[in-house]
């Protein structure tokens, strides 16, 4: 994959939820997921240490808009902000 595609910045909107990651493995832990119209994927701050607490966990249940890049099943957020809950 070219560097341009790897570093493409995306803006996504969705709801943050806490779910078990890597169930039944030694790496099992509570992960922060962003549920969007296009699916659900792990989200964490870009450049952050994956072995420390995720600061986005405190926003669980809230809706956010995040900008960053997606790699496989993880969205690396360079910035985010809380947004109002969309109307159903």
- Using an 8 Å Cβ cutoff, are 45 and 56 in contact? yes
Q: Is residue 88 part of a domain?
A: no
Q: Does any domain span residue 7?
A: yes
Task: Summarize pLDDT for 40-68 with one digit per residue, the tens.
Answer: 999 999 988 887 889 999 999 999 999 99
Q: What is the pTM of this model?
A: 0.82
The CATH number assigned to the domain holding 70 equals 2.40.50.430
In-domain check, residue 87? no
Q: Give the domain extent around 54.
A: 3-82
- d(CA 82, CA 8) in angstroms, rounded, equals 22
**Judging by DSSP bridges, how do beta strands 74-83 and 63-71 pair with one another?**
antiparallel
Q: Say if CB 67 and CB 81 are below 8 A apart.
A: no
- Number of domains composing the chain: 1
Residue 82 has pLDDT above 80, yes or no: yes
36-52 burial code (b ≥16 CB/10 A, e <16):
eeeeebbbbbeeeeeee
């Amino acid at each position: 994959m070219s560097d341009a595609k790897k570093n493409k910045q995306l803006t996504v909107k969705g709801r943050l939820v806490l779910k078990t990651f890597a169930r039944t493995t030694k790496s099992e832990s509570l992960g922060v997921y962003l549920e969007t119209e296009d699916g659900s994927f792990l989200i964490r701050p870009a450049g952050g240490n994956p072995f420390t607490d995720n600061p986005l966990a405190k926003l669980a249940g809230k809706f956010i808009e995040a900008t960053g890049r997606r790699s496989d099943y993880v969205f690396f957020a360079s910035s985010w902000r809380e947004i109002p809950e969309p109307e159903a």
